[in-house]
């Protein structure tokens, strides 16, 4: 009888990746995190650049896209209402409240466009939406790579960058899109792109100098079996290509088509970034032995 490899590996001592939130149906959770980030980021970006039509798009992405991905991920979707019961301790509960209040506030702001109170309140909940996923990951003590204070900031920054990228791509593809402050797009893109470089570098270095499991996560991403996705997806698509287009655009003129490329490239990179962060969640061995030397990748990740 053939047994799954994961079953057999449960009896070995060593590092182990988290699989529940990334493999098989776990992909739906990645999609939910991604759509929540893109939607929340787009909402904030729409407020900053004055793009009214961006608001309903953002709300749709969050409420329909993120909401349904979360529901489909659950083993018992009909019991989702129970997640409202524990906001005092669980980030999933808090996230559901944030999602719901954000959608209502955003809808009200769209209906009463220009109302400052609603604008501030909806912006606060949009910020909550893009940062809570990071806190949800950070609440897992078993995974040192996630239990890092920088992870909520990285999630929030990546979300805002994605929102800007989506607005930029939409504007480049459809020039008739009414955006009041188009000049802010390039500045925001430049600032967030640079911030992502600094944040990611700091996050990886801080983790590498941390525990053995966190070091193993960095090794897995930077030169392990996830390195191709990390360097091509996160670094090249998510940072290098968008910055290579946005920097000249800021200092001069760049064809609209290139701005669309920058936006789409960043959106892809942002997806791979979340994929990589979830995939690199590595548990330490429950028993540390002399054989565990993560620096040389002599362990086998399953």
Partner 1 sequence: MRYGMVIDLRKCAGCYSCMAACKAENFTPRGVFFTRVLVDEIGKYPNARMRFVPVLCNHCENPACVSVCPTGATSQRKDGVVTIDPKKCMGCRYCIVACPYRVRFFIDKRGTYYDTPTTYEVFGFQARDYQEGTVIKCDFCAHRLEKGLEPACVVTCLSRARYFGDLDNPESEVSQLIAANGGHQLLADKGTNPSVYYIR
Give the residues lining the site for partner 1 (CB under 8 A): 1, 3-4, 7, 10-13, 16, 18, 20-21, 24-26, 73-77, 79-80, 82-83, 85-86, 89-93, 96, 136, 139-143, 281, 283-284, 286-287, 289-291
DSSP-assigned letters across all residues of 26-39: HHHHHHHHHHHHHH
Nearer to partner 1, 135 or 231 (CB): 135
Task: Please state the closest distance from residue 171 (CB atom) to partner 1, in A.
Answer: 37
What number of other Cβ atoms are within 10 A of residue 109's Cβ? 24
- Of 8 and 120, CB closest to partner 1: 8
Q: Name the helix (H) or strand (E) containing 260.
A: helix 256-279
Of 22 and 254, nearer to partner 1 (C-beta) is 22
Instruction: In angstroms, give the least distance from the CB of 178 to partner 1.
Output: 40
Nearer to partner 1 (CB atom), residue 135 or residue 258: 135
Among 278, 204, 230, 248, smallest CA distance to 30 is for 278
Q: Strand, coil or helix: what is 289?
A: coil
Rounded least distance, CB 283 to partner 1, Å: 6
With contact defined as beta carbons under 8 Å apart, do 275 and 267 qualify? no
Residue with tokens 């970006």: 45
CB of 105 to partner 1, least distance (A): 22
On whether the CB atoms of residues 52 and 96 are closer than 8 A, the answer is no
How far apart are CB 289 and partner 1 at their closest, in Å? 6
**In terms of Cα–Cα distance, which of 150, 159, 144, 147 is closest to 37?**
159
Q: Which is nearer to partner 1, 93 or 177 (CB)?
A: 93
Phi, psi values for residue 53, rounded to 5°: -65, -20
In the complex with partner 1, the residue whose CB is nearer, 141 or 175, is: 141
* Nearest-approach distance from CB 179 to partner 1, in angstroms: 38
Residues with Cβ within 8 Å of 253's Cβ and at least 6 positions away in sequence, in order, are: none
Query: Residue 84 CB, nearest distance to partner 1 (Å)?
Result: 8
- Closer of 94 and 171 to partner 1 (Cβ): 94
| Orientation angle between helical segments 256-279 and 26-49, nearest 10 degrees | 140
User: HSE on the CB side for 165, CA within 13 Å?
Assistant: 29
Nearer Cβ to partner 1, position 25 or 174?
25
- Angstrom CA distances, 56 to 39, 52, 65, 240, stand at 10, 8, 13, 30
Which position has the token pair 């959106």?
Answer: 267
Closest distance to partner 1 from the beta carbon of 93 (Å): 4
Token code pair at residue 201: 């570098």
């Amino acid at each position: 009888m053939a047994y799954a490899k994961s079953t057999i590996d449960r009896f070995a001592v060593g590092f182990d990746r988290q699989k529940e939130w990334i493999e098989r149906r776990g992909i739906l959770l990645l999609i939910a995190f991604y759509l929540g980030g893109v939607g929340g980021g787009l909402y904030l970006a729409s407020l900053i650049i004055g793009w009214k039509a961006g608001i309903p798009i953002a709300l749709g992405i969050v409420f329909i896209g993120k909401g349904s991905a979360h529901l489909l991920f659950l083993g018992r979707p009909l019991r989702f209402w129970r997640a409202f019961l524990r906001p005092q301790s669980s980030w999933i509960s808090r996230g559901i409240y944030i999602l719901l209040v954000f959608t209502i506030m955003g809808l009200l702001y769209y209906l009463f466009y220009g109302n400052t109170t609603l604008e501030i309140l909806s912006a606060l909940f949009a910020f909550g939406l893009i940062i809570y996923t990071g806190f949800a990951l950070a609440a897992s003590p078993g995974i040192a790579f996630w239990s890092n204070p920088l992870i909520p900031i990285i999630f929030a920054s990546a979300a805002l960058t994605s929102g800007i990228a989506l607005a930029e791509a939409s504007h480049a593809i459809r020039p008739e899109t009414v955006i009041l402050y188009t000049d802010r797009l390039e500045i925001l893109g430049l600032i967030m792109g640079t911030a992502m470089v600094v944040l990611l570098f700091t996050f990886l270095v801080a983790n590498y100098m941390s525990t053995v499991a966190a070091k193993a996560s960095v090794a897995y991403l930077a030169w392990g079996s996830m390195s191709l996705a990390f360097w091509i997806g996160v670094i090249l698509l998510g940072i290098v290509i968008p910055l290579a287009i946005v920097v000249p655009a800021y200092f001069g003129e760049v064809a609209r088509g290139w701005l669309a490329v920058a936006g789409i490239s960043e959106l892809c990179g942002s997806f791979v970034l979340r994929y990589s962060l979830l995939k690199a969640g590595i548990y330490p061995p429950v028993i540390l032995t002399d054989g565990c030397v993560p620096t040389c990748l002599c362990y086998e990740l399953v």
